[in-house]
């Protein structure tokens, strides 16, 4: 069965660029972003991991640990990290790959998380083996999967969107809100449709609720 939102993120132990880890213990009380890329030493993946290295401060502000994965060896991950850091330096950023890149030669994590898309004929490595696609699993401190996104090998991800999703996940459910299109931290959010207006007014303040339709009510989130 494929993993679904609400499932517990499967635990695993693995060799990584920062040593052997137990996934759940490594996450501890943090949020986690476990993401796969098709292969080391490929162009789009290099740009993606350089971006994740550059955004480590933003992930840390959100109490979030990032872990990368592909079906390559730790030796390759370590060699490739030099290219990633060199690419990040091109934009004037002294970013280092401090987050773990998980060894995937046994394909264990790829299978556990369904990161290999066998249906995509274009997604094969030189040996004809299907590669991992660009999956992202967002994991809450209680180890529940809160969001899953999957991009094909041909489309690099937008890691500002990954940060935006974390902001939404960390704020909206806790406040009984949902974040609208293109929402950014600090913007108004939607009161959930099944919440009574009187209850929303009591919580967020009568003057703070903007009524557009009976079912579309916007409010500034409470200060976190």
Out of 45, 50, 52, 133, the residue judged to bind ligand BEZ by CB under 6 A: 45
Residue 22 corresponds to which tokens in the numbers above? Answer: 């137990």
The footprint of ligand BEZ on residues 22-41 (CB under 6 A) is 38-39
Comparing CB distances to ligand BEZ, the nearer of 66 and 219 is 66
Taking residues 136 to 175 in sequence order and writing x for each that binds ligand BEZ by CB under 6 A, - otherwise, the string is -----------------xx---------------------
Q: Residues near 92 by Cβ (< 8 Å), separated by ≥ 6?
A: none
- How far apart are CB 139 and ligand BEZ at their closest, in Å? 24
Near ligand BEZ by CB under 6 A: residue from 15, 42, 73, 208: 42
Cα separation, 36 vs 71, whole angstroms: 9
- The residue written with tokens 């696609």 in the block is 133
Residue 130 binding ligand BEZ, by CB under 6 A: no
Nearest approach, Cβ of 39 to ligand BEZ (angstroms)? Answer: 6
Shortest reach from residue 97's CB to ligand BEZ, in Å: 16
Judge residue 56's burial from the number of C-beta atoms within 10 Å of its C-beta, 0-12 exposed, 13-18 middle, 19 or more buried: middle
Binding residues with ligand BEZ: total (CB under 6 A): 8
Task: Choose between 153 and 162: whose C-beta lies nearer to ligand BEZ.
Answer: 153
Q: What does each C-alpha distance from 166 to 98, 110, 121, 147 come to in angstroms?
A: 20, 23, 32, 9
Among 3, 18, 21, 44, indicate the residue that binds ligand BEZ (CB under 6 A): 44
Nearer to ligand BEZ, 118 or 223 (CB): 118
Q: Tell me the closest approach of the beta carbon of residue 133 to ligand BEZ, in angstroms.
A: 9
Give residues in contact with ligand BEZ (CB under 6 A). Answer: 38-39, 42-45, 153-154
């Amino acid at each position: 069965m494929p993993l679904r939102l609400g499932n517990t993120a499967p635990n695993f132990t693995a060799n990584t660029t920062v040593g052997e880890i137990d996934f759940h213990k490594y996450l501890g009380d943090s949020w986690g972003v476990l993401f796969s890329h098709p292969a080391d030493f490929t162009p789009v993946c290099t740009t993606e991991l350089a971006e994740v290295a550059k955004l480590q401060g933003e992930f840390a502000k959100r109490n979030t640990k990032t872990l990368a994965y592909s079906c390559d060896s730790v030796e390759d991950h370590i060699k490739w990290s030099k290219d990633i850091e060199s690419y990040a330096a091109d934009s004037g950023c002294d970013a280092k790959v401090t987050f773990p890149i998980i060894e995937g030669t046994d394909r264990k994590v790829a299978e556990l998380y369904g990161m290999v898309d066998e249906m995509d004929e274009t997604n094969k490595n030189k040996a004809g083996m299907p590669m991992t696609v660009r999956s992202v699993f967002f994991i809450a401190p209680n180890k529940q999967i809160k969001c899953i996104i999957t991009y094909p090998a041909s489309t690099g991800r937008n890691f500002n969107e990954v940060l935006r999703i974390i902001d939404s996940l960390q704020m909206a459910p806790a406040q009984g809100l949902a974040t609208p299109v293109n929402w950014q931290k600090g913007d108004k959010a939607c009161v959930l449709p099944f919440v009574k207006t009187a209850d929303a007014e009591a919580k967020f303040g009568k003057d703070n609720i903007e009524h557009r339709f009976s079912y579309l009510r916007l409010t500034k989130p409470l200060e976190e």
